[in-house]
Structure 1
């Protein structure tokens, strides 16, 4: 684990590169799950020798979180991520930092880019990222995965806009986690509901275009053409309205979850990492 600024011990997995490398990739998991979702991709990238790979359990997630499905305040994920980067920079002082994420984790990447720590990253990796509930790529309720309490979210957001955060701990969204997962050996590690403050921390700000516009570093977006939660073909026209520093790869016959185990994903990401020019940002 690493120690966050509030003293919390937050766990992560480190996959050390099999060869000398100047890159460290942080991969942020999607909603409801934890860092083990990246085992196949992280293992392949590290074995290929293209990067060290770090997969944190975001606060409120994983096997033994202090408060499952909750954080202390909106924006705490970004503080935690900055603290993780500081930890990695002590261990790998000359590494370029690449921050990636899947689904909501990709949304957190976009949020991070638009926040006070965005310049800590040298590049970004977006794997079928969540932008906003009504962004052009998003299917209704993310294809049935998310069950948001929209009226509560709207009310709490209005209160936040006038500086009131007393009720941010209320649950605002639940996830349709399959029974096969909940009843399985890792069922206890699933997180099936989020508070308002965690849910808000996990997504770009409401004007997500501003966060995207801050992504001046190189980025790669990968999504599956059969994604159940997002319409992959809409990513590039939506995002390119705000930033032109990225490249896009859409995989046929690939859905939202199986993107992470798609045969071509590790190769595409590894090739991109090897050809990444981070000198102007590092």
Structure 2
């Protein structure tokens, strides 16, 4: 019995040591800058960028967003669109899309999601589920004109999908997913997200196991880094903590999230997307038995989806298709 107890003690010490080593040394390294993601944003014209507004979240934090009023000659509009940016980015990255929405008669709101831009410390949140609370607080505080559409790009599209498949889906009348991240287990996933991310697998797994035991003390540690150019490191969010990485995406069981969608949802992606395998989006939703129309735009890459004029035109047209039935 003493020998067995000693063996158990040794095994426990070895596992504990491995866990500590993974937490300390198992974090993500910095991937090489990905030109296809960084370069398109450098050419954007921000001369007419609206100033940041702020709303108060339930924890008292002041979170940032930009408002693009509908360019109409009267009080009528097509409703409102809330825009969610991609990973590491902020509201500025969606400036061309927000401008296109405003010019088409929509009130557009581009958020700095908590952990990005001017919304709290970059790269971390307090708890998993806080981003859902923040989004609900935004709708309650700002009270955008209806009908209300949630449009999310890349990681923001994954988070929009998370909302669409949740008990809060009725916050929005429509959901438009722009090349959304779905899961590392989905057929749309490319290794390393096409070179955009580097995940610290040992640390990630260790923290996930600790969370299963109810221990969240290490959720603030970074588990993923992004392939940002050096001059963008200080401007954007170069890494995500475990909490932020787990929250700004669909639920881990992405199939259950897809099957829970109960609001009108559409998806647009570029056929030449270098981050995700866009040819598999239709298959993903078919396997989940969900009727989500998928449009693939030829000659459009990942970032091109939110900056190329042809892509912006297609996104506006798709959103107008949402709104049209509400006007009848």
TM-score (norm 1): 0.90
Give 5+ residue unaligned stretches, structure 2: 1-53
- Write out per-residue CA displacement over residues 170-225 of structure 1, whole angstroms, 9 at most, x where no aligned residue: 1101111023x42xxxx532110111001111111110111111222112211111
1:141 CA displacement = 0.9
Following the alignment from structure 2 to structure 1, what is the Cα–Cα distance between the partners of residues 242 and 103? 38
Give 5+ residue unaligned stretches, structure 1: none
User: Is 1:8 the equivalent of 2:61?
Assistant: yes
For 1:100, the equivalent position in structure 2 comes to 151
User: Is 1:271 the equivalent of 2:317?
Assistant: yes
User: Is 1:226 the equivalent of 2:226?
Assistant: no
Indicate the structure with greater helix content.
Answer: 2
Write out aligned runs for 1:142-161 (5 A): 142-161=193-212
1:262 CA displacement = 2.1
Which of 226-235 and 254-263 deviates more? 254-263
For 1:239, the equivalent position in structure 2 comes to 285
Task: Provide the secondary structure at the position in 1 that maps to 2:225.
Answer: strand
For 1:43, the equivalent position in structure 2 comes to 99
For 1:23, the equivalent position in structure 2 comes to 79
1:66 CA displacement = 3.1
CA contact (8 A) 1:215 1:245 kept: no
- The change in CA–CA distance for 1:149 and 1:278 in structure 2 (over 3 A counts) is farther
Which structure has the larger Rg? 2
For 1:190, the equivalent position in structure 2 comes to 236
1:271 CA displacement = 2.0
Task: Provide the secondary structure at the position in 1 that maps to 2:234.
Answer: helix
For 2:263, the equivalent position in structure 1 comes to 217
CA contact (8 A) 1:127 1:221 kept: yes
For 2:112, the equivalent position in structure 1 comes to 57
For 1:163, the equivalent position in structure 2 comes to 214
CA contact (8 A) 1:137 1:230 kept: yes
1:65 CA displacement = 4.3
Following the alignment from structure 1 to structure 2, what is the Cα–Cα distance between the partners of residues 16 and 235? 32
1:115 CA displacement = 2.7
CA contact (8 A) 1:122 1:278 kept: no
1:230 CA displacement = 0.6
CA contact (8 A) 1:217 1:245 kept: no
Which of 156-165 and 29-38 deviates more? 156-165
CA contact (8 A) 1:126 1:219 kept: yes
Task: Provide the secondary structure at the position in 2 that maps to 1:142.
Answer: helix
1:86 CA displacement = 1.2
- Write out per-residue CA displacement over residues 87-123 of structure 1, whole angstroms, 9 at most, x where no aligned residue: 232x53xx11111111111111111122331221111
Task: Provide the secondary structure at the position in 1 that maps to 2:184.
Answer: coil
CA contact (8 A) 2:113 2:119 kept: no
- Write out per-residue CA displacement over residues 58-81 of structure 1, whole angstroms, 9 at most, x where no aligned residue: 11111x443210000011111101
Following the alignment from structure 2 to structure 1, what is the Cα–Cα distance between the partners of residues 293 and 115? 32
Task: Provide the secondary structure at the position in 1 that maps to 2:141.
Answer: helix
CA contact (8 A) 1:133 1:141 kept: no
TM-score (norm 2): 0.78
